[in-house]
Structure 1
Amino acid sequence: MAEQTDTAPRATSNRSTTPGSDSFKQYISSNWAERTDVLPPARDEAAFAAERRARLSAKYPGKRLIIPAGRLKQRSNDTDFPFRAHTVFSYLTGWGSDSEPGAVLVLEPVAESESESESESGAGAAGHDAALYFRERAGRDSDEFYANPEIGEFWIGPRPSLAQVAADLALTAHGIADLDAVLEAVDGDTLIIREADPELTALVDARVAAAVIEAQDEAALPTIAFSPASGEKEEVDESAQLEQDLSEMRLVKDEYEIGQMRLAIAATAAGFDDIIRDFARITAHERGERLVEGVFNSRARADGNAVGYDTIAASGPHACILHWTRNDGPVVPGDLMLVDAGVELDSYYTADITRTLPVSGTYSPEQRMIYEAVREAADAAFAIVRPGIRFREIHATAMGVIARKTAEWGLLPVSAEEAVQPQNQQHRRYMVHGTSHHLGLDVHDCAKARREMYLDGVLEAGMVFTIEPGLYFQPDDLTVPESFRGIGVRIEDDILVTPTGAENLSAAIPRTADDVEAWVSAAGALNGRSL
């Protein structure tokens, strides 16, 4: 019998009834059908992931790069949150919702003589060999497969073999025990994605420090770079630089990523349809917001992996709370229902859409006026999107409309022209958030990119981001008419920069006040609901 494997970290041995007799172990390890592993063809994303690794390899010649998937995170006691691999790991491997906790991708630099020809290991570049390390399924001669509730197949279902994963991802695959040899070789030229796996990061840090001390030469010291801002030399954290570079690589999406975004948005559109069709049940429940959340989550699980972020189901004055995720209030006819939600696919790409719906099927005059003002801001921002403009211009354009509208309504102590000046900004009382953020594997994608590449960056074809202006009039805001108080409106769409302009990927989801009313009313009529 193979050597006994470790039990799950939080296994509750004090209440375990798993048999431990030799006769049981002998019986449970025998008379199993032979496993006949069918090797899958490489998944569609494999070639794109290889190209991404090639670009990364070119940026880091001679550096060993360690990219962990991360580990299961405790929810409570001996239960864990559903596993989601680190974004960078997924980006560089193509492994999404079926990825294995504890897996690690390593890009090992090859000797100069070896780098003259293309690597055949799946790195997609001559500068590094790429290999994936993960805990392969246990054999039936081990107690792991029946006694370990964290990874045992009796508990969580079939797990892949090395050969299956290697074929699926077009990557060399090794058992997790083989990672020890990589860690033994860690030196001052080793970088790791630090936040993915704190335990592994601490181990790598210790070995890097030991290698630096042992080397006692100039090459082992921290990299020194010139800081234009201070005019002085400053120490650079190369691992932080690695994370920054990977964020900036993801600013422009490849063909596969754009296709996934389209699918995520289509699934999200279906989720909004589901919500509207269920308004009768939703409005009848004392915590109707919870039902909105549940209906959308059902679609996310049916058509994807999960929701890309906690659904905001904000009815009435809750719509004025920007990140309302408690979702425990009623959905009252006559109020607006702000739904900010996105389906995350098995590839981890997510949509991020907001629509503000009239629960009764029609907007009141004030609701319509505010809604159409927000749409005007969104449309104005969309109209300027094209390669070559700066990202910040999108926000400035939307804010110009918000300032003009709030000034026209007599809400500002200054003119719209004065309000938009940096030293004023009174109109921002009614919209304190930004207008746009990049979107992809993360709902707030590419977050570690430099300011000059993000907010001050120049748009390029292939970028995907949101446009999401809003107006929020708090229930106790004495600067606005009483009829405005408690009204919150946001309209959010997902935008693709094209070579000549932009495409609103979510334009098929009704946006104008007239179209939204028709959408809600049609769903109500279909279900025999009185509007």
Structure 2
Amino acid sequence: MDTPAPGEQPGGQPLEERGDNRSQRPSSESFKAFMSSQWGAEPAELPERDAVADHAARRRKALSLKFPGERLVIPAGPLKVRSNDTDYRFRAHSAFAHLTGLGLDHEPDAVLVFEPTDEGEGDDGGNHHATLYFRPLAGRDSEEFYSNARYGSFWIGERAGLDEISASHGISTADASGLEVAVTKDAGAVEIGGTRIRLVREVDLNCDALVDTSRINTGVALEASDALDAELAAACSELRLRKDEWEAGEMRKAVDATLKGFDRAMGELARAVAHQRGERVLEGAFFANAREEGNDLGYDTISASGNNATTLHWIRNNGRVNEGELLLMDAGVEVDSLYTADVTRTVPVSGSFSPVQRKVYEAVLEAADAAFEAAKKPGAKFADLHATAVEVLAKNLDAWGVLPVSLEEALSPEGQQHRRWMPHGTSHHLGLDVHDCAQAKRELYLDAELEEGMCFTIEPGLYFKKDDLSVPEEYRGIGVRIEDDILMTAEGPVSLSAALPRTADDVESWIQSKLGEAGQRG
């Protein structure tokens, strides 16, 4: 990797202070003049309006109507240091992405500010005028253009400027140098005529400090403000509970790319068996697909063979993949718009389930199918999906003689013994975050009726750890989860991931065909 030239570092620390032993960039005036000259003309035409722009404008208006007279501050977040002077790839905060329509690497350090107007006099008839503040890249006549390894386009490539973002995404833009005034002007207690600020916190520490300092200086109580900020965060989550038409299309793209990734990974199953870190062979195959077909992974892939599949968040993926075991893969592709899928399949490494593996698998499949059917019922609530799935699982555990109490007692609020082997929820909302809308109020999430536009998972499982002496030995070391992504439509629930094999017979046929293809390749 190229060594960056002196430039700006996180927290404002110049790289010169610790990088002069690496960099030998000339500093003469003649060199500066040469580096800034003889560059081709930059494109003069502005980009066309992006398809997401109108949808993002409607989302901003919906949020605006909830908080008349208040200034709203939604940061994208800064770049995050991975190691010394190298950063992780930038990924904007989901609330910011949802309200602007910006994905990919737009725009580190950007902040969206909703400035209150007279009611109904704001953007699109809302109560605010929204402005996106960000730092445009330095022009080629600037030394920063070639000397700043974090923000100079010579190093990181071109990014859209103020006019380009305004044209493509239909939002007012301004240089980040004006952010402090925009956030703090006229701020203060509402009781004395000041403007109340609400902030999406813990996204950008500089924004937190700016708003908190303003509150302290104007006598606004910080503890009370924390509650107001939490209400804004909840509103941003709740705004994503129902996907619009554009978002539904992005979810379909994410799922389609994810299914390709699963098929690609299973094509490497034979090589995984032969490798000492076979789980990572499969993880790597899926990741390659995610980068080719989308922006990145939606979350760290779980590639778990044998007993590792009983660890719910197994992301080390450093184990062997052994014949005779089950392999559980939980993975999702995040597309360029930052929407992600979340799919799980459990497959027999050798191509065929053993009798006990098939018994556990089909119990989980029965629970998943029952939850899907529950979603079809008029007036069904989100929480009903979990209740339906675990009832099916508990009945199977009872039939196998695993439950230590009666089925009735296990299903009672005071019992729940079945949760030893199914400890997680059956469903969660899905979208910009893999666990989307997580800050929404309970009555709008768990206790809400399923509505058109909601996108969620159905993912029951059973996990019998190898050292679990409460179950017969034949079950130990078996972990099974089946997860599909569901979109509620006007006609009812639709499984976006239904094309990926699910029944035990179809899964066996799929894996056998992949093992056969690998054998033909030699």
- TM-score between both structures, scaled by the size of structure 2: 0.93
Structure 1, 26-35 or 148-157: larger mean CA deviation: 26-35
Does the 8 Å CA contact 2:410/2:417 hold for their aligned counterparts? yes
Q: Residue type matched to 1:260 in 2?
A: E
- Which residue pairs with 1:369 in the alignment? 359
**How far off is 1:208 after superposition?**
2.4
**How far off is 1:412 after superposition?**
1.1
Q: Residue type matched to 1:208 in 2?
A: R
Work out the CA distance in 2 between the residues paired with 1:126 and 1:365.
61
Alignment of 1:107-506 (within 5 A): 107-111=114-118, 115-116=120-121, 119=122, 123-185=123-185, 187-188=187-188, 189-211=196-218, 213=219, 237-386=227-376, 388-506=379-497
2:41 counterpart (21, 34, 40): 34
**How far off is 1:479 after superposition?**
1.7
Provide closer, same or farther for how the CA distance between residues 524 and 37 of structure 1 changes in structure 2, counting only shifts above 3 A: farther
Structure 1, 7-16 or 24-33: larger mean CA deviation: 7-16
Task: Encode CA deviations 1:237-274: one digit per residue, 9 max, x unaligned.
Answer: 21110011111111111111111111100000000000
Does the 8 Å CA contact 1:474/1:485 hold for their aligned counterparts? yes
**How far off is 1:362 after superposition?**
0.8
Does the 8 Å CA contact 1:69/1:86 hold for their aligned counterparts? yes
Work out the CA distance in 2 between the residues paired with 1:150 and 1:426.
53
Does the 8 Å CA contact 1:106/1:131 hold for their aligned counterparts? yes
1:520 counterpart (494, 499, 511): 511
Does the 8 Å CA contact 2:36/2:141 hold for their aligned counterparts? yes
Q: Does 1:14 align with 2:20?
A: yes
Provide closer, same or farther for how the CA distance between residues 152 and 267 of structure 1 changes in structure 2, counting only shifts above 3 A: same
Does the 8 Å CA contact 2:7/2:149 hold for their aligned counterparts? no
Task: Encode CA deviations 1:198-231: one digit per residue, 9 max, x unaligned.
Answer: 11111111112322x3xxxxxx67898xxxxxxx
Structure 1, 382-391 or 76-85: larger mean CA deviation: 382-391
Does the 8 Å CA contact 1:475/1:485 hold for their aligned counterparts? yes
Q: Residue type matched to 2:468 in 1?
A: D
Q: Does 1:55 align with 2:62?
A: yes
Does the 8 Å CA contact 1:248/1:449 hold for their aligned counterparts? yes
**How far off is 1:111 after superposition?**
3.7
Does the 8 Å CA contact 1:261/1:350 hold for their aligned counterparts? yes
Residues paired across the two proteins, number: 503
Report the 3-state secondary structure (helix = DSSP H, G, I; strand = E; otherwise coil) of the residue aligned with 1:237: helix
Does the 8 Å CA contact 1:193/1:242 hold for their aligned counterparts? yes
Report the 3-state secondary structure (helix = DSSP H, G, I; strand = E; otherwise coil) of the residue aligned with 1:405: helix
Q: Residue type matched to 1:276 in 2?
A: M
**How far off is 1:13 after superposition?**
3.2
- Which residue pairs with 2:192 in the alignment? none
Does the 8 Å CA contact 1:388/1:460 hold for their aligned counterparts? no
Q: Residue type matched to 1:152 in 2?
A: G
- Which residue pairs with 1:229 in the alignment? none
**How far off is 1:497 after superposition?**
1.7
Does the 8 Å CA contact 1:223/1:238 hold for their aligned counterparts? no
Report the 3-state secondary structure (helix = DSSP H, G, I; strand = E; otherwise coil) of the residue aligned with 2:20: helix
Q: Does 1:77 align with 2:84?
A: yes
Q: Residue type matched to 2:339 in 1?
A: Y
Work out the CA distance in 1 between the residues paired with 2:31 and 2:424.
62
Q: Residue type matched to 2:149 in 1?
A: P
Q: Residue type matched to 1:59 in 2?
A: K
Work out the CA distance in 2 between the residues paired with 1:139 and 1:76.
28
Work out the CA distance in 1 between the residues paired with 2:34 and 2:175.
27
Work out the CA distance in 1 between the residues paired with 2:401 and 2:307.
22
Q: How high is the sequence identity, in percent, across the aligned residues? A: 53
Q: Residue type matched to 2:435 in 1?
A: H
Task: Encode CA deviations 1:98-147: one digit per residue, 9 max, x unaligned.
Answer: 311001111111245xx44xx5xxx4333111111111111122111111
Report the 3-state secondary structure (helix = DSSP H, G, I; strand = E; otherwise coil) of the residue aligned with 2:339: coil
Provide closer, same or farther for how the CA distance between residues 170 and 150 of structure 1 changes in structure 2, counting only shifts above 3 A: same
Provide closer, same or farther for how the CA distance between residues 221 and 337 of structure 1 changes in structure 2, counting only shifts above 3 A: closer
Task: Encode CA deviations 1:453-502: one digit per residue, 9 max, x unaligned.
Answer: 21222221111111100011100111222121101000001111223421
Q: Residue type matched to 1:320 in 2?
A: T
Q: Which runs of 5+ in 2 are unaligned?
A: 1-5, 189-195
Work out the CA distance in 2 between the residues paired with 1:236 and 1:136.
31
Does the 8 Å CA contact 2:212/2:222 hold for their aligned counterparts? no
Provide closer, same or farther for how the CA distance between residues 307 and 236 of structure 1 changes in structure 2, counting only shifts above 3 A: closer
